[in-house]
Structure 1
Amino acid sequence: MATGWAGDGAVQDQIDATVKDAIQRARSQLPKGPGLTHCEECDTAIPEARRKAMPGVRLCVACQEAHDREQGAASGYNRRGSKDSQLR
């Protein structure tokens, strides 16, 4: 099948690169270092079970959920462009 200037496997390479970037971004956002006993935003106590499950945790569940919602709203950007823009 003719693909224009793109080489064989170019689409799969782009998908693999996007997945790899997403994994690296997620890993870079994981907490590092010692965890806190109280949330750094609202000073609510962080339960022992959460501190054991998430080493390096810095936020309580409620603040973490709010932070994740804020991050999710800004993550809709595709830096490689859409397929339609590549066809023009």
Structure 2
Amino acid sequence: MATGWAGDTAVQDQIDATVEDAVKRVRSQLPKGPSLERCEECDKPIPEARRKAVPGVRLCVACQEAADHEEATFSGYNRRGSKDSQLR
């Protein structure tokens, strides 16, 4: 397939790079270090079972759920792709 100046594997290389970047971003967000005994946000005790299950945990279950919800609602991508959505 003629692709101009791009190599034959340029599209796959771009896909691979995108996947690698996403994996690196997610890995960088994983908890590191020792788990805290009290939540960083609300100062409630973090149960021992949670500290053992998630090494490096920093938030209690309630605060983690709120943080996950907040992160899930923000999307930096325009998935609709219509002109109308780009103007907002």
Q: TM-score, normalised on structure 2?
A: 0.74
Partner of 1:45: 45
Q: Which letter does structure 2 place at the counterpart of 1:22?
A: A
**Cα-Cα RMSD:** 2.1
Cα deviation, 1:11-63, whole Å, max 9, x if unaligned, reads 11111111111111111111111111121101222121111111110001221
- The one-letter amino acid paired with 1:68 is D
Residue ranges of structure 2 left out of the alignment (5+ in a row) = 82-88
Rounded to whole Å, the distance in 2 between the matches of 1:54 and 1:77 is 29
Letter in 1 for 2:19: V
Provide the identity percentage. Answer: 77
Q: Which residue number corresponds to residue 13 of structure 1?
A: 13
- 1:64 aligned partner: 64
Q: Structure 1 unaligned runs (5+)?
A: 83-88
2:86 counterpart residue number: none
2:15 aligned with 1:24? no
Structure 1 stretch displaced more, 63-72 or 29-38: 63-72
Q: Deviations over 1:45-86 (max 9, x none)?
A: 2121111111110001221122122223344348xxx9xxxx
Q: How many residues align?
A: 79
The ranges of structure 1 where at least 4 consecutive aligned residues each deviate by more than 6 angstroms after the TM superposition are: none
